[in-house]
């Protein structure tokens, strides 16, 4: 036979503030404690999950850093390769320009005209030469005027020796295929004809 012992006063105490508090904790307190323990357990197990995610994120960041480093090296290699290709193109273009210039100069010099000096310039060239007589010089001017490969042809330093028929001259011209900008022409141009050039011949004593 068991006996039940109630330490709480039976009369008036349940209606008091202390009685209400004790009754609340005795009735609902255990649920609060259980809920608190569940929250603590959830936070404890969530810590493992968050730690694992943090580790995964760190690994992903390290992998991306390694990829970025490799890409920077690859970008440097690509830029170096592009620069080398540009240098090769410039070298080839310069080689083609010199080759085409020599071919044009060889074509425009008629018989009786000798080349003394050739100065290759950007997009053009300059020539110092001697014509054996006025006919050879006139043929040179006519050839230059009819040349489809040249533009902006201008003569300077034209002189004729007093004791011979030789005519010394200098002229410059631009290569049409390589011309990117047209500088202002100086001297007498062959585009308008050969007569102005022949009139400018001076005799040397």
pLDDT over threshold 60, residue 186? no
pLDDT over threshold 70, residue 1? no
pLDDT for 3 equals 58
Q: Other CB atoms closer than 10 Å to residue 154's CB: what's the count?
A: 19
Contact 152, 174 (CB under 8 A): yes
Which residue, 205, 196, 204, is CA-closest to 160? 204
Q: Which of 108, 130, 149 is the last residue of a domain?
A: 108
Q: Is 185 inside a domain boundary?
A: yes
Domain of residue 68, residue span:
11-108
**Number of domains making up the chain:** 2
pLDDT for 199 equals 42
Q: Tell me the C-alpha distance between 114 and 107, whole Å.
A: 12
Task: Please indicate whether residue 83 or residue 201 has the higher confidence score (pLDDT).
Answer: 83
Task: Please indicate whether residue 108 or residue 189 has the higher confidence score (pLDDT).
Answer: 108
Q: Is 140 inside a domain boundary?
A: yes
Lookup: tokens for 5: 């012992």
pLDDT for 195 equals 36
Q: Which of 108, 133, 162 is the last residue of a domain?
A: 108
Q: Give 7's pLDDT tier (boundaries 50, 70, 90).
A: low
Per-residue CA distances from 52 to 57, 124, 131, 132 (Å): 9, 71, 92, 95
Pair 26, 43 in one domain: yes
Pair 119, 156 in one domain: yes
Q: Is 6 inside a domain boundary?
A: no
Residue range 88-106: mean pLDDT, rounded: 81
Residue range 63-89: mean pLDDT, rounded: 82
pLDDT for 129 equals 92
Digit-coded pLDDT (tens) for 121-163: 888 899 999 999 989 999 998 999 888 888 889 988 888 877 8
Pair 20, 30 in one domain: yes
pLDDT for 77 equals 82
Pair 87, 155 in one domain: no
């Amino acid at each position: 036979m068991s006996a039940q012992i109630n330490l709480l006063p039976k009369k008036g105490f349940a209606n008091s503030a202390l009685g209400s508090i004790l009754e609340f904790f005795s009735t609902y307190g255990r649920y609060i404690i259980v809920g608190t323990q569940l929250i603590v357990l959830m936070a404890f197990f969530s810590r493992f999950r968050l730690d694992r995610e943090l580790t995964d994120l760190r690994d992903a960041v390290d992998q991306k850093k390694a990829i970025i480093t490799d890409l920077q090296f690859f970008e440097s290699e690509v830029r170096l390769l592009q620069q080398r290709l540009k240098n090769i193109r410039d070298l080839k273009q310069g080689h083609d320009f010199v080759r085409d210039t020599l071919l044009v100069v060889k074509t425009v010099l008629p018989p009786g005209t000798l080349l003394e000096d050739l100065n290759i310039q950007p997009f053009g060239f300059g020539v110092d030469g001697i014509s054996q007589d006025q006919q050879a010089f006139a043929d040179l001017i006519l050839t230059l005027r009819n040349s489809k490969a040249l533009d902006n042809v201008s003569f300077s330093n034209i002189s004729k020796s007093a004791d011979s028929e030789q005519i010394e001259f200098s002229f410059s011209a631009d290569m049409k295929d390589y011309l990117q900008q047209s500088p202002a022409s100086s001297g007498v141009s062959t585009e308008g004809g050969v007569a102005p050039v022949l009139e400018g011949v001076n005799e040397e004593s």
